[in-house]
């Protein structure tokens, strides 16, 4: 594999990476792509594709299958960009936003590619998206990187590599290693935890508290019934569980009480970031014509006002209507502008979201969830508006060099998004968000000044579930509580 010359690698420290003054960050490119800018999307592809295609060439035996998997990833990225870019907060540093975009893309790529492997890669299965359906690849380079020696064992590293770069389930990892499934699952869990510790050490952060790690069973149901559901977060981080297993593990976390799902997702996200960091050197250049093929397969662009041109009308009729048409288009532009201004305010402004949710007929509120050490958080949700907001009060002052950071957790287990950093006196306004149907929980952590790219699992102060049907925590319907 050839290492491309890009200004920054996923998870790299942007303060030490060489910068190009005119280069737009991948977060900016994603914003523009979400608005239909194909030139920005092409630049986004160029800036990120070595890592995506590196994963594909490790995961798929056939070069043609790998190229198609890379293409499918970017087609999915184009489709999901309008939702993903809304999760980026302007309150976060540019380097943190870029790392979050890389993490989002890596997880998206792994989800797309494992889906292809487990359906289309086998004859007589799936939608036949892959041209050759040649099956699993080698799983990438086998040697333990020098940077991980002494912190990750070769055996656990191999298990994690087969799951992440090999796209294998826990059972397939067991087969590849020639060990029982329960042993493979335990190796995967231990490997992810070792990588999390190594990743934190690389960032200059304290290692997570390492307690006794129980051996895992051969099935998700056995682990959940035995109270080991939290340990399955590391397997979910690798997509090593099937869909039913992931759902069962997440549901078990939620059933343990309010906020436990946020803690579980924090562990999933920490695992994914650590694994992406560990394999950051696995890159490959895609076929030179792949981007052209991806662009040709994007949905057709809306021609907009070009459709009102009366190219088929006789010249005389067109001339007679030109003045009226100009006036009508001018009025239409004014109406569109006015509607756009109102829509922008009502849909995207903090006050607009709060006002609409507060006035919704299906407003659902939680009671006030206490935070560890003092303070409370309360949620206000509306399915009809597909939006929500939380209020925070009574948070104690932090020591110098610390800040509160609020996180939003997607239901699909992908990386949580930062809703910004705050000091104890910075919670006067509600913290709002859109896309309620995509999110499962909100949490708050204590982080170093400036915020962190990922939640610190040991410092989660509280977690608030965003599910009006959940009955495991203190919550109720009706107007906001003043208690």
Q: Domains of the chain: which residue ranges? A: 26-278, 308-344, 358-477
- What's the whole-number mean pLDDT along residues 321-347? 42
Pick from 6, 10, 2: nearest CA to 279: 10
Under CATH, to which class is 358-477 assigned? mainly beta
* pLDDT class of 161 with cuts at 50, 70, 90: very high
Beta-carbon-side half-sphere exposure of residue 438 (alpha carbons within 13 Å)? 16
What's the confidence (pLDDT) of residue 218?
94
* pLDDT tops 70 at residue 9: no
Return the CA Rg of the chain. Answer: 24
- What's the whole-number mean pLDDT along residues 359-385? 84
Q: How far apart are CA 367 and CA 389, in angstroms?
A: 13
DSSP, residue by residue, 337-378 = HHHHHHHHHHHHSHHHHHHHHHT-TT-EEE-PEEPTTS-EEE
Q: How many other CB atoms sit within 10 Å of the CB of residue 153?
A: 16
More confident residue, 176 or 261: 176
* pLDDT tops 50 at residue 452: yes
What's the confidence (pLDDT) of residue 469?
55
* pLDDT tops 70 at residue 347: no
Q: Rounded mean pLDDT of the chain? A: 77
User: What tokens appear for 75 in the block?
Assistant: 């087609």
DSSP, residue by residue, 394-445 = -PPPPPTTEEEEEEEEETTS---EEEEEE-TT--SS-EEEE-GGGEEEEEEE
Distances from the Cα of 187 to the Cαs of 153, 184, 219, 231, in angstroms? 10, 5, 14, 12
User: What tokens appear for 36 in the block?
Assistant: 């239909």
* pLDDT tops 80 at residue 198: yes
Compute CA 229 distance to the chain's CA centroid, rounded to the nearest angstrom. 22
* pLDDT class of 12 with cuts at 50, 70, 90: very low
**DSSP helix/strand/coil, 476:** strand
Ramachandran category for residue 239: left, alpha or beta (phi over 0 → left; psi -120 to 50 → alpha):
left
Pick from 445, 444, 436: nearest CA to 466: 436
* pLDDT class of 301 with cuts at 50, 70, 90: low
What's the confidence (pLDDT) of residue 78?
92
What's the confidence (pLDDT) of residue 10?
54
Angle between helices 154-164 and 170-177 (to 10 degrees): 130
- What's the whole-number mean pLDDT along residues 125-150? 83
What's the confidence (pLDDT) of residue 13?
45
What's the confidence (pLDDT) of residue 343?
36
Which helix (H) or strand (E) segment is 292 a member of? helix 290-296
More confident residue, 473 or 70: 70
Task: Name, of 10-14, 54-58, 343-347, the range with top average pLDDT.
Answer: 54-58
Q: How far apart are CA 34 and CA 26, in angstroms?
A: 12
Task: Kindly tell me the burial class for residue 333, based on how many C-beta atoms sit within 10 Å of its own C-beta (0-12, 13-18, 19 or more).
Answer: exposed
What's the confidence (pLDDT) of residue 435?
79
* pLDDT class of 18 with cuts at 50, 70, 90: very low
* pLDDT class of 75 with cuts at 50, 70, 90: very high
Give long-range contacts, CB 8 A cutoff, 24+ apart: 26-29. 26/98, 26/101, 26/102, 27/85, 27/88, 27/94, 27/97, 27/98, 27/100, 27/101
* pLDDT tops 50 at residue 298: yes
Task: Kindly tell me the burial class for residue 166, based on how many C-beta atoms sit within 10 Å of its own C-beta (0-12, 13-18, 19 or more).
Answer: buried
Contact criterion met (CB below 8 Å) for 373 and 461: yes
433, β-bridge pairs? 388
Q: CB-based contacts of 150: which residues, under 8 Å, 6+ apart?
A: none
* pLDDT tops 90 at residue 186: yes
pTM of structure: 0.64
* pLDDT class of 229 with cuts at 50, 70, 90: confident
- What's the whole-number mean pLDDT along residues 196-222? 84
- What's the whole-number mean pLDDT along residues 452-460? 71
- What's the whole-number mean pLDDT along residues 418-437? 84
For the ranges 103-107, 172-176, 435-439, the lowest mean pLDDT is seen at 435-439
Contact criterion met (CB below 8 Å) for 179 and 171: no
Contact criterion met (CB below 8 Å) for 390 and 442: yes
What's the confidence (pLDDT) of residue 113?
93
User: What tokens appear for 147 in the block?
Assistant: 């940077």
Q: How far apart are CA 152 and CA 188, in angstroms?
A: 12
Task: Kindly tell me the burial class for residue 59, based on how many C-beta atoms sit within 10 Å of its own C-beta (0-12, 13-18, 19 or more).
Answer: buried
Q: CB-based contacts of 410: which residues, under 8 Å, 6+ apart?
A: 416, 417, 438, 439, 440
What's the confidence (pLDDT) of residue 104?
83
Ramachandran category for residue 150: left, alpha or beta (phi over 0 → left; psi -120 to 50 → alpha):
left
* pLDDT tops 60 at residue 308: no
């Amino acid at each position: 594999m050839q290492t491309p010359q890009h200004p920054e690698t996923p998870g790299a420290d942007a303060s030490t990476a060489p910068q190009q003054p005119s280069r737009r960050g991948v977060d900016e490119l994603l914003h523009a792509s979400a608005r239909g800018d194909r030139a920005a999307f092409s630049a986004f592809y160029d800036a990120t594709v070595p890592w995506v295609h590196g994963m594909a060439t490790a995961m798929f035996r056939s070069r043609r299958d790998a190229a198609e998997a890379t293409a499918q990833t970017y087609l999915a990225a184009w489709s999901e960009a309008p939702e993903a870019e809304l999760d980026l907060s302007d309150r976060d540093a540019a380097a943190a936003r870029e790392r979050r975009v890389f993490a989002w893309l890596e997880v998206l790529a792994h989800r797309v590619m494992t889906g292809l492997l487990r359906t289309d890669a086998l004859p007589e299965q799936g939608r036949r998206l892959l041209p050759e359906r040649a099956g699993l690849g080698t799983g990438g380079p086998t040697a333990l990187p020098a940077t991980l020696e002494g912190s990750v064992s070769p055996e656990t590293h191999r298990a994690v590599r087969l799951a992440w770069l090999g796209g294998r389930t826990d059972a397939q990892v067991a087969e590849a290693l020639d060990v029982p499934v329960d042993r493979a699952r335990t190796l995967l869990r231990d490997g992810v935890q070792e990588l999390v510790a190594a990743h934190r050490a690389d960032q200059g952060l304290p290692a997570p508290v390492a307690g006794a790690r129980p051996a895992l069973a051969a099935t998700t149901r056995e682990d959940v019934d035995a109270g080991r559901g939290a340990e399955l977060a590391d397997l979910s981080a690798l997509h090593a569980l099937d869909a039913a297993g992931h759902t069962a593990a997440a549901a078990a976390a939620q059933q343990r009480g309010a906020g436990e799902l946020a803690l579980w997702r924090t562990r999933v996200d920490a695992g994914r970031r650590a694994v992406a960091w560990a394999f950051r050197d696995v890159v490959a250049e895609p076929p030179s014509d792949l981007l052209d093929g991806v662009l040709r397969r994007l949905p057709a662009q809306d021609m907009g006002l070009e459709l009102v041109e009366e190219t088929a009308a006789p010249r005389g009729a067109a001339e007679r209507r030109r003045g009226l048409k100009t006036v009508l288009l001018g009025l239409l532009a004014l109406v569109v502008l006015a509607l756009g201004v109102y829509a922008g305010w009502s849909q995207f402004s903090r006050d607009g979201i709060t006002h609409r949710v507060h006035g919704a007929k299906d407003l659902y509120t939680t009671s006030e969830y206490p935070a560890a050490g003092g303070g409370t958080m309360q949620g206000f949700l509306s399915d009809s508006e597909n939006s929500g907001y939380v209020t925070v009060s009574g948070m104690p002052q932090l020591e110098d060099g610390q800040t509160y950071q609020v996180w939003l957790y997607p239901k699909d287990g992908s990386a949580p998004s930062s809703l910004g950093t705050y000091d104890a006196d910075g919670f006067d306004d509600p913290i709002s968000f859109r896309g309620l149907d995509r999110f499962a929980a909100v949490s708050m952590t204590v982080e170093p000044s400036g915020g962190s790219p990922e939640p610190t699992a040991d410092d989660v102060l509280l977690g608030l579930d965003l599910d009006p049907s959940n009955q495991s925590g203190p919550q109720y319907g009706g107007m906001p509580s003043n208690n």
